[in-house]
Amino acid sequence: MVWGLFGVLAVLHVAYSTWTAKRLDRLHRRVDSARAALDAQLRQRAEAALAFARPGRTTVLRELAAAAQSALEVPGLGHDREVAESALSRALQAAGRDADAALVVVTTRTSFARRFHNDTVRDALVVRRRRVVRLFRLAGSARMPTFFEMDDTVLERRTIEV
């Protein structure tokens, strides 16, 4: 009777651990996808800002072009990229009243991509903090996902074109 109970508990534990490991693997794949999408969206935002600022001769547009170029030059999604993207966001906010509709849309999409990325990172971290994951090292050699923090205030267009 006692061995039967231990056997049932062992089977339940193995089933739960397997389910958790598979879930964690799916979450890590989602984080990788969200990370790639965020990187692509950040690059698209910097390219759109650069295209918007190129014809301008004002100081604000020159600063926007410099910030966009700087953001394009930083690889990966580390701290340096967060700083460069925040500087680009501040430059976009300074030029925000004159922003064209395409730039506003790209900036909004970037904000959504960052939120989606950070939500998937949060979900993965919640599972990784579970005792069973840490005890049995169910995360394997996957690196710890990190949040991407930047100033991503969405631009609002003052005039609406029909």
pLDDT tens string 28-56: 999 999 999 999 999 999 999 999 998 77
pLDDT attached to residue 100 = 85
Give the DSSP letter string of 34-47: HHHHHHHHHHHHHH
Distance CA 60, CA 122 (A): 36
In this predicted structure, the answer to whether residue 134 has a pLDDT above a threshold of 50 is yes
Quick one: CA torsion of 117, 130, 128, 109, rounded to 10 degrees?
0
As a whole number, mean pLDDT of residues 7-27 equals: 93
Alpha carbon distances (Å) from 32 to 2, 56, 78, 95, 154? 45, 37, 14, 32, 24
In this predicted structure, the answer to whether residue 3 has a pLDDT above a threshold of 90 is no
Distance CA 152, CA 131 (A): 35
As a whole number, mean pLDDT of residues 115-136 equals: 96
By three-state DSSP, how is residue 159 classified?
coil
pLDDT attached to residue 1 = 63
In this predicted structure, the answer to whether residue 97 has a pLDDT above a threshold of 80 is no
pLDDT attached to residue 162 = 36
In this predicted structure, the answer to whether residue 156 has a pLDDT above a threshold of 70 is no
pTM, rounded to two decimals:
0.87
Helical segments of 57-144, H only = 59-73, 79-94, 101-128, 131-135
45 within 8 A of 114, measured Cβ to Cβ: no
In this predicted structure, the answer to whether residue 159 has a pLDDT above a threshold of 50 is no
Percent of the chain with pLDDT over 90: 70
In this predicted structure, the answer to whether residue 9 has a pLDDT above a threshold of 60 is yes
> Quick one: pLDDT band at residue 157, thresholds 50, 70, 90?
low
Q: Which of 87, 145, 81, 75 is nearest to 116 (CA)?
A: 145
- Structure tokens that stand for 40 in this block: 């692509």
For the ranges 3-12, 44-53, 91-100, the maximum mean pLDDT occurs at 44-53
As a whole number, mean pLDDT of residues 88-109 equals: 88
Q: Which of 2, 19, 28, 34 is nearest to 132 (CA)?
A: 19
As a whole number, mean pLDDT of residues 144-161 equals: 76
